[in-house]
Amino acid sequence: MKKLKLGVIGMSPGNGHPYSWSAIFNGYDLKYMQDCPFQVIPEYLSRQKFPQDSIKNATVTHIWTQDKEASTHIANACKIENVVTNYKDLIGKVDAILLARDDYQTHYKISKQFIQAGMPIYIDKPLAIKKSIAQKIYALQKYAGQVFTCSAIGFAKEFELNKNDLYDLGEIKYIEAMISKDWERYGIHIIEPTLKLLLTNNILSLKNKIKQTNVSKNQNQRIVTFVWDNNLITSFCTLGELKIPIHVNIFGTNKNQKLTFQDTFYAFKKALQSFVNTIQKKEPAPNKIFTLKIIDMIEKGCANE
């Protein structure tokens, strides 16, 4: 099977994914990467071994960002051969698109031409913060699974429970998850892994409904609590500028267990490898109903805005 050629699109404020995602495929040039404006990226990349730890069956060959200078720096840092001046120029030059921007307001406009051209596309989280917009994007699809979108943290190994963990916890009654930054862009990073954990362990199903939502806000902090129809309570907290590790605290009838996210490279690589695998028909694309459930929860947390 041929090696896929990928085109990456960036940037958005505070988001260094064009650097990190491209490096996971291509490796990186230390001379340029040390000047990456997101220092956490060269820090965790330095703990890996390249090319051994790279994704082998695809490479990023083209890049576009709004800023030619930024595009050139990312290309130099991540060994990307081609910088284009218009993102539409990627059509016909690559096999698939990495839309590495989390400014969800632009997702429909940018992704539209690629989806209509039949190209597979990975759209950074969140796809949208309104279910109607997400459905509008999905409606463009030429085939099921063409649009791939997720929080990479949904692939984190830290947010998995084994049978012994479940037995020790007893019946799960309450879950509290926390992350820094804002609800609209970062709430998905705690909703998706929590929902995946609950579905994987048959604590919830996609048929379960939310019977009550409570939203508490203070400046740029927000707590959104959902009461489910099986009486499980899940509370998601985005804490603005407070620096905290991403974690999920699970409370059962016997004990509680705190799960803390640690390995960014692992989660990003698993998500990106999954995208490539869906293109090559090695695994199914993320469940659209699952994605829409998450976006519905984000939208409920934005109520009255």
Q: What are phi and psi of 31, to 5 degrees?
A: -55, -45
Return the pLDDT at 1. Answer: 73
Q: What percent of the chain has pLDDT over 90?
A: 96
pLDDT of residue 304 exceeding 70: no
Domain 4-151+266-286 has CATH 3.40.50.720: yes
For the whole model, what pTM was predicted? 0.95
Cβ-contact 160, 276 below 8 angstroms:
no
Task: Give the residue extent of every domain in the chain.
Answer: 4-151+266-286, 157-262
Q: CATH topology of 4-151+266-286 equal to that of 157-262?
A: no
| Bridge-based pairing state of the strands 221-228 and 147-150 | unpaired
CA 143 to chain CA centroid, Å, is 22
CA 215 to chain CA centroid, Å, is 23
CATH fold for the domain made of 157-262: Dihydrodipicolinate Reductase; domain 2 (3.30.360)
Return the pLDDT at 70. Answer: 96
On average, the pLDDT of the chain sits at 96
Average pLDDT over residues 220-245: 97
Average pLDDT over residues 220-231: 97
Please tell me whether residue 281 adopts helix, strand or coil conformation.
coil
* pLDDT tier at 2, thresholds 50, 70, 90: confident
Q: Which spans in the chain are helix H?
A: 17-26, 30-33, 40-45, 68-78, 107-116, 131-138, 163-169, 183-186, 188-200, 264-279, 288-301
Return the pLDDT at 303. Answer: 77
